[in-house]
A and B are shown apart, each in its own frame.
Chain A
Amino acid sequence: MSENSLRLPSSIDLTSSPSSAEALQQWLHEWVVTVDHKRLGILYIVYAIFFLLVAGAEAVAIRIQLAFPGNHFLVAQAYNRFFTMHGTTMVFLVGIPILFGFGNYVVPLQIGARDMAYPRLNAFSFWLTAFGGLFLYYSFLGGGGLYGVGTAPDVGWWAYAPLTAKAFSPGHATDYWALALIVSGFGTLGTAINIIATVISMRCKGMTMMRVPLFSWLMLVVSGLTLITITPLTAAQIMLVIDRYLGGHFFDTQAGGSAVIWMHFFWIFGHPEVYVLVLPAFAIANEVIPVFSRKAIFGYPAMVAASVGIAFISLSVWAHHMFTVGMTSVSNTFFVLSTMMVGIPTGIKIFNWLATIWGGKIRFATPMLFCTAFLYQFLIAGLTGIMLAVAPWNWQLHNSYFVIAHFHYVLVGAIVFCIFAGIYYWYPKATGRMLSEKLGKWHFWLFLIGFHVTFDTMHFVGILGMPRSIYTYEPNRGWNTLNLVVSFGGIIQAVAVLLFALNLIWSYFRGQQAGNDPWDAWTLEWSTTSPPPAYNFVEEPIVRSRRPLWDLKHPEDPDWEYEG
């Protein structure tokens, strides 16, 4: 039964050979009612890739609008909706679901478990997230409500007050935004709780906490961080809904409320959220880099400690998004220093990855290519992060395209690159077929070139003073050529992503058979079949080291002789 888990309806082996309509119905039914962590993981990832294409199309529209001064591709209102939906979608409907998708699929396999701790909660959380996303996009139709034609939210993904007040956002667009994020937020909370319970309580025999593979360790840290990150946003959204529907005054400055407190609440969520997204990217790099360097990860305990350290420090840096709002010099100093402190654990990680690669027998398969690019791009993103952490520099460049370039370097250059690496790495496990290496290399090089053409150039546009969130600009500002270059890079990236989508579909039917362990890897998910059976492992595995498959393949030189 389980070997068929990924086949399309025509290939389902049914003895009674029913009509294709019935088979399709049964196939759909199986996917909708599933509580299997592997299927839910795939659902999460497919859902996220779908929205990646949607939000990517929005980004392309934005870039077409900005390619030339005074362009008329999007009117101002539509432009506002597009950048709001682009940001909201990428963070909530792409970033979080895809990383939880990886967590769902890989964590139980890596720790030798039968399933997640709470399979039904898992399904419930996925469907909450899924309907939250549909709810957000329904705003294109229903957002105008009784006020007229439909509109999507146009308040920015940060939705600063008082823009979200009834007076400035009539209709229901902002309500769709708030309610969709509350709904998907509860889904995120449910999955986070589930992953924590799974990693702590479902480990197979012998897998002590210091033998848990780093991917699963980091998913544990991320889930813990999610608990205290996504909930403040939920609380702030509830306040916003109270303001809009019940006439509350939380963010109503005319009744003594504060617009700044919304900023604080939003960024108390918003900044740790970056780490919620980037830590799973680190987690993927932690699996890919050692396997493709043919060496055990360098400094396992330091990696764990650095991840926990990042999670803690990330909770105390939020107001570096608010230097230009006007804070006391004590607050400014505190947030400058705390922000810079993030550089310490992330620096430890970068050096550990480099030390892992150092002297290794590197195989530049597509996952490793993406991870290598990730290392350099994340370093640059971190360096511009330190520049922006300096308050006076920030006063100069805040809300310019320099900031946009910086955070896209993190979100795309680090996170999306690692997500691609993860998909190339685990796709054979999930489907039984390899992704095409040839298409993969085209995808990598096009995406790499497109990424740098777009986001390297964007730094310069920002330094030249172009502010974010403007729908057009005058031709005499000196931004024309650079903007055209940025937009051109966007098109290259779009082509690369389409190649990737093509690869996913083509390899599913025509890809080379993968076998159990195509990468000669060391963690437990590679010990079972590809795709794994519903029950994951025939016998409950027992591990004695961090690399159980290494021990198995090299009985003469097992890891547990060296690990303390």
Chain B
Amino acid sequence: MSAASGIAAAYPGEWRTPSRGRIAMLALIIGEAAIFTIFVVAYVFYIGKSLSGPTPQQVLDVPVFATICLLSSSLTIWLAERAIERNRMNAFTLWLGGTICLGLIFLGGTAIEWHKLIYHDGLTISTNLFGTTYYSLVGLHATHVVVGLTMLTIVFLFAVARCVEQKHAERISVLAMYWHFVDLVWVVVFTVVYVIGR
């Protein structure tokens, strides 16, 4: 039926195409990067353009500890990746749990920061341009952290239930790509919001 099989002379050598998981995740990351770019451009464009206070200089504190935690989580997930490649499943579960904890600490830091800004400094998304752009950009990133944590937690639960095996290493590395991206975006957001904009 398939006439193409007529040309099925033995193919010389092994046929390999790139991993579809990595390609698809890379494509998603490129698309997401474009979304973040627009929000970052809006933030930078509106720095100092608010017609009323509070200003970033008055209310923003640099979240050093949360940032250290989030950036460290890139290291722990890399260790988790390495562990599963070497079939050390207990170490994998441990490093994965560590990654989740660090991500949760980061989110907790954001929650405390927002609580202070809203209830102490009176800055909401509708207060001024700074509020609008700040909550949108940081909130967009936090949303991505939540999505990443959800996926990591699902894997963690499977790992605790001993359902994750070495053969899943590639899927874990695809998930890790996303998490590294979330961390990388934070470097940009941090620079724009807390260094340039403050």
Contacts and interface: CB of A to CB of B under 8 A. Distances in A.
B5 A197 contact: no
Interface residues of B, number: 41
Contacts, number: 155
21 contacts: A112-B4, A193-B28, A196-B23, A196-B27, A200-B18, A205-B11, A228-B34, A231-B35, A232-B35, A234-B35, A238-B136, A246-B126, A249-B129, A255-B50, A256-B50, A265-B42, A539-B2, A539-B4, A542-B7, A543-B4, A551-B7
A192 B126 contact: no
B42 A261 contact: yes
A243 B126 CA distance: 8
A290 interface: no
Contact of B132 (A203, A230, A249, A537): A249
A529 B3 CA distance: 9
Given A542-B11, A552-B3, A200 B50 contact: no
Interface in B1-24: 1-9, 11, 15, 17-20, 23-24
Contacts of B42: 239, 250, 261, 265
A34 interface: no
A480 interface: no
B117 to A, nearest CB: 15
Given A206-B15, A228-B31, A118 B24 contact: yes
A232 B51 CA distance: 26
A227 B34 CA distance: 8
Nearest to B12: A206
A193 B3 contact: no
Contacts of B19: 201
Interface in A225-258: 227-232, 234-236, 238-239, 242-243, 246-250, 255-258
B15 A205 contact: yes
Interface string A183-222: 0000001001110111011110110000000000000000
B23 A543 contact: no
A126 B125 CA distance: 34
B168 to A, nearest CB: 17
B74 interface: no
B46 interface: yes
B86 interface: no
Contacts of B27: 192-193, 196-197, 223-224, 227
B8 A201 contact: no
Contact of B4 (A202, A246, A261, A548): A548
B17 A549 contact: no
Given A193-B24, A256-B129, 8 more contacts: A117-B24, A223-B27, A228-B31, A231-B38, A239-B39, A243-B132, A250-B133, A541-B7
B30 interface: yes
